[in-house]
Amino acid sequence: QKEVEQDPGPLSVPEGAIVSLNCTYSNSAFQYFMWYRQYSRKGPELLMYTYSSGNKEDGRFTAQVDKSSKYISLFIRDSQPSDSATYLCAMPSGSARQLTFGSGTQLTVLP
């Protein structure tokens, strides 16, 4: 069983829609939870990170963590074509804070 499972998609939505991206994890040692966005032919870039259970909002993006269910989500409000990318959840562990990534969800926002 993988430590981090992510809905594979692909996901295609109309502009302005609310998008929900989800991951589950099995390792109780994970303390930080991150979302990365990766555009085609680019490296991932950090979008948001959270530490505790609950919600964290940044503009149109909201990260949600439920440690009791080992479930994290990223919501995108008023989605834009520029949000079209692959979204990866990730959790650090180990002494070097190595990241364990989900497999990514490819999102396309149609104008």
Partner 1 sequence: EADIYQTPRYLVIGTGKKITLECSQTMGHDKMYWYQQDPGMELHLIHYSYGVNSTEKGDLSSESTVSRIRTEHFPLTLESARPSHTSQYLCASSVEGEGYGYTFGSGTRLTVV
Contacts of 66 (CB under 8 A, 6+ apart): 53, 72
**Sole window of 15-23, 58-66, 77-85, 93-101 interacting with partner 1 (rule: CB under 8 A):** 93-101
Contact stretch for partner 1 (CB under 8 A) within 14-22, 61-69, 73-81, 92-100:
92-100
| Nearest-10 Cα torsion for 101, 109, 55, 88 | 0
96 binds partner 1 (CB under 8 A): yes
- Smallest gap from residue 70 Cβ to partner 1 (A): 18
**Is residue 32 a contact residue for partner 1 (CB under 8 A)?**
yes
- What DSSP assignment string belongs to 28-91? TT---EEEEEE-TTS--EEEEEE-SSEEEEETTEEEEEETTTTEEEEEESS--GGG-EEEEEEE
Report the residue from 11, 13, 17, 99 that binds partner 1 according to the rule CB under 8 A. 99
Residues forming the site for partner 1 (CB under 8 A): 32, 34, 41-46, 49, 51, 88, 92, 95-99, 101-104, 106
